Chain A
Amino acid sequence: MVAHLLRLKLTLLRNSVRRSPWQLVGLGIGTLYALGIVGLLVAGLLLLRGQEIELAQTVVVLGGAAALLGWAIIPVAVSAADMTLDPARFTTFAVPMPQLLAGLALGGLIGIPGLATSIVALATVGTWSRSVPAAAGALVGAVLGVLSCVVLSKVVTTATAGLASSRRFKDISAVAFLIPLVLMGPIVAGIAKGIAGSGDFLASLSRTLSWTPAGAAFSLGGELAAGHYGAAAVKFLIAVATLAGLALAWKVLLQRALVTPPYAGTSKRRSGGPGLFGVLPATPAAAVAARSLYYWLRDPRYAGALVVVPLLPVLFLFQGSQSGFYGPFQFVGPLTAFLLAWSISTDVSYDSTAFALHVATGVRGADDRLGRALACLSFALPVVLLFSVGPFFLTGDWAKLPAVLGLSLGVLFSGLGLSSVVSARYTVSVPLPGDSPFKKPPGNVAQTLAVQLGGMAVLMVLVAPEVALVAAQFITGSTVPGWIALVLGPVLGLALFATGVRVGGIWLDRRAPELLAQLAVNR
């Protein structure tokens, strides 16, 4: 039975790449990325072999505890739990519980995260290959540790399945998870500073952790290498008890979950009125704009961008405060303009097959384009103006304001124009509606990369005049190019915006059914 479950998982994995060779390419890229990280970690662990026991033990135990934490948190936080072997699908098959548990646990190892964790964990055997008992202990510890990771992740996902299946929780957690992700730099820097301040802290933390379920398994090799056989025996018992306890908890939770399917209670609302549709003018373009604005607020794939934008100045401020040089901070306006304008280049792909409504109602392409662009512009323009002017209150270098402002407006309008064309012509693979923004999107990764990179290259060309004028001011110190940029940016930008909406609209009028057919491939 366990073998059946493993074979099922492998078959599902193989079939998922069989739909198109491009998905194989996508999987290949993902694998290469994972291989790179795994390679670095493995190399690091092997290098630790020559280091003192104390240092190696600290690194291995803390790394193991971090892996455990990651397996517990990440699947829930990003709503991307691996559901290929969803236990709910086996309810009708009467699989004996111990075999189901074993099959699902081992199945959890198949896939990039499981394999990566296993390989890195096994590399600790290399770290501790200083004596036979140490290497053996490390091997046992790695097996216990990796299994604990997988089972812990199952415990957490099973326990939160009810919560995680509610749409509201999914939406909020996906967006909230972005905040620490974006602020990763400052957070890591802060932690690193703290560590540099107290080198002993980590060693003592690792010593403490190694006596807890979080670190016991991965500390086995180190204890044996140091000759602490008594401590090793106790920690072995702790690690085994941890795994057994987790397995028991999982079994109980799963038994309950199998007979009580998650029920996502939703609040009924009689009527909220037409909302924005009643406020904006009653034209097709305004209706498209109202719909887009609702999506910016309600769809985590869009809302994620809105969460990231206010964090950008924070990032640049932090970077400036570290280096004492606020040069990049002055360009947070143009950067925001680029991010927001480019974000609607995937608009039709985000619609997925819901775009059929636009095709069926025969809305004119130009109205479709204009509505989406104006929705983005309605909040992007004030934000970009604020971010362009704001930094100069700090730097006081007001002479550069016209140039930066011109560049911002140029990038914003040109970008929206270009996005209007790109999204009318090319679909890219994005997470499907309702999926987490972090979920690996189905479909053609290569085309996505080509469209994104190509589009950005074209945008660079389109805003080249503004960039050149800004560069001229920064190099020569003359304010004349800056003032020219302030005039040229909006003028050229608006011209490109109008052209983009028109060209995109014409393409949409001609090719809307073909576009819909491309969207239907991914569904």
Chain B
Amino acid sequence: MTYQTPDQQGQPAPHGPSAPTVPALSLLGLAKRFGDKIAVDGITLDVPAGSFYGVVGPNGAGKTTTLSMATGLLRPDFGTALVHGVDVWQHPLEAKKLMGILPDGVRLFDRLSGEQLVTYAGLLRGMDRDTVAARVAELLAALDLGNDAGTLVVDYSAGMTKKIALASALIHAPRLLVLDEPFESVDPISAANIRDILDRYVASGGTVIVSSHVMDLVQRMCDHVAVVAGGRVLAAGTVEEVRAGASLEDRFVQLVGGRNHTEGLEWLRTF
């Protein structure tokens, strides 16, 4: 696997060894159990190459667990995950070269400066020094972190931490980006910048998977969506197919259920 040149904007889609019909990510019967609790109960999902794929679900639906298993961070009890046809758990090194991962709820090496952390991520992937240096500068500028490049990540705000983690996931120009809650606590301007970056990335042939529970965001941003609840896929396809005329939020509530229409809380109006 060779790395793209630092400037890839407007360049044709990255063509790898696999044919374009192979899904960017293909999950087959992934399942995971923690103690008595079945977190993921057989998820099968195809993410087409070149799609902007949203994974939505209520809290505790198994989104993070599924994405961790798909990216080689958590070993599944059953099932397989293929990235552009490469089995993540049979050939982890090859698969991980194709992926950029933004995990949710993990720490960073936060005693490094932002600049050093992204450099570290690039060097760990075996990239050469000049490429890393050029890309780090561009990424920090694109994510509005240029003014804090030398600040230690431990002193960053939550939103900045998210952005620096995203930069670490982008440094090696992966063909597939798996982003777990990428917009959490990111300010609206940075979020818009990130969306632009991701849109251009998808337009040039890359694939993005984001998990979120902000339905509006997913409806506006993604072209495909999967609704996950209770460790299963309830619906998957293009956003148009899944929402079937309604708004994604209404459709989501309808699929997942659990809205309570009880009257109650009368006293809340008695102040």
Binding site for B on A (CB under 8 A): 167, 264, 266-275, 277-278, 282-284, 286-288, 290-291, 294-295, 298-299, 351-354, 356-364, 433-434, 513-514, 516-517, 520, 523
Contacts of B128 in A (CB 8 A): 282
- CA gap between A133 and B92 in the complex, in Å: 78
Contacts of A278 in B (CB 8 A): 119, 129, 133
- Complex contact A357–B121 (CB within 8 A): yes
Is chain A's binding surface mostly helix, strand, loop or mixed? helix
Bits for B60-74, please: 1 = Cβ < 8 Å to A, else 0.
Answer: 000000000001111
Assuming the contacts A269-B149, A360-B73, asked whether A291 and B107 have C-beta atoms less than 8 A apart, the reply is no
Binding site for A on B (CB under 8 A): 71-75, 92-93, 95-97, 99, 101, 103, 105-113, 115-116, 119-121, 123-129, 132-133, 136, 146-152, 154-155, 168-169
- Complex contact A277–B93 (CB within 8 A): no
Contacts of B72 in A (CB 8 A): 359-360, 362, 513
- CA gap between A275 and B99 in the complex, in Å: 27
Assuming the contacts A283-B126, A284-B123, asked whether A433 and B107 have C-beta atoms less than 8 A apart, the reply is yes
- CA gap between A352 and B93 in the complex, in Å: 22
Known: A291-B116, A295-B109, A354-B108. 15 other contacts (CB 8 A): A264-B155, A266-B155, A270-B146, A273-B115, A278-B133, A284-B125, A286-B123, A288-B124, A294-B111, A357-B121, A357-B168, A362-B92, A364-B93, A517-B74, A523-B105
Write the chain A residue with the least CB distance to B34.
A517
- Complex contact B148–A268 (CB within 8 A): yes
Contacts of B113 in A (CB 8 A): 269, 272, 275
- Complex contact A283–B151 (CB within 8 A): no
Write the chain B residue with the least CB distance to A356.
B106
Assuming the contacts A167-B155, A266-B151, A288-B124, asked whether A299 and B74 have C-beta atoms less than 8 A apart, the reply is no
- The number of A-B residue pairs with CB atoms under 8 Å apart is 136
Contacts of B74 in A (CB 8 A): 513, 516-517
Contacts of B151 in A (CB 8 A): 266-269
Assuming the contacts A287-B124, A362-B97, A516-B74, asked whether A299 and B111 have C-beta atoms less than 8 A apart, the reply is yes
Least CB distance from A348 to B in Å reads 12
Least CB distance from A261 to B in Å reads 15
- Complex contact A354–B133 (CB within 8 A): no
Contacts of B136 in A (CB 8 A): 274
Contacts of A283 in B (CB 8 A): 123, 126
- CA gap between A360 and B106 in the complex, in Å: 12
Assuming the contacts A266-B155, A359-B73, asked whether A282 and B149 have C-beta atoms less than 8 A apart, the reply is no
- CA gap between A96 and B251 in the complex, in Å: 47
Least CB distance from A324 to B in Å reads 45
Contacts of A298 in B (CB 8 A): 111, 152
Assuming the contacts A287-B120, A361-B121, asked whether A282 and B129 have C-beta atoms less than 8 A apart, the reply is yes
- CA gap between A277 and B112 in the complex, in Å: 11
- CA gap between A186 and B113 in the complex, in Å: 39
Contacts of A516 in B (CB 8 A): 73-74
Contacts of A356 in B (CB 8 A): 73, 103, 106-107
- CA gap between A353 and B73 in the complex, in Å: 11
Least CB distance from B192 to A in Å reads 23
Assuming the contacts A270-B150, A513-B73, asked whether A362 and B93 have C-beta atoms less than 8 A apart, the reply is yes
Partner of A271 from the list B75, B97, B150 (CB cut-off 8 Å) is B150
- Complex contact A433–B148 (CB within 8 A): no
Least CB distance from A346 to B in Å reads 16
Contacts of B125 in A (CB 8 A): 284, 361-363
Least CB distance from B205 to A in Å reads 22
Could you pull out 17 A-B pairs where Cβ atoms are within 8 angstroms? A270-B146, A270-B147, A273-B115, A277-B123, A278-B129, A282-B128, A282-B129, A287-B120, A294-B112, A351-B109, A357-B120, A357-B121, A357-B168, A360-B73, A362-B95, A362-B96, A514-B75
Least CB distance from B182 to A in Å reads 15
Q: Quick one: which of B116, B124, B148, B152 has the most chain A CB within 10 A? A: B124
Write the chain B residue with the least CB distance to A272.
B150
- Complex contact B115–A361 (CB within 8 A): no
Write the chain A residue with the least CB distance to B111.
A298
Write the chain A residue with the least CB distance to B151.
A269
- CA gap between A284 and B125 in the complex, in Å: 7
- CA gap between A116 and B116 in the complex, in Å: 46
- Complex contact B111–A282 (CB within 8 A): no
Contacts of A517 in B (CB 8 A): 74-75
- CA gap between A354 and B112 in the complex, in Å: 12
Write the chain A residue with the least CB distance to B123.
A287
Partner of A354 from the list B106, B115, B123 (CB cut-off 8 Å) is B106
- Complex contact B121–A354 (CB within 8 A): no
Least CB distance from A339 to B in Å reads 22
Contacts of B107 in A (CB 8 A): 352-354, 356, 433, 523
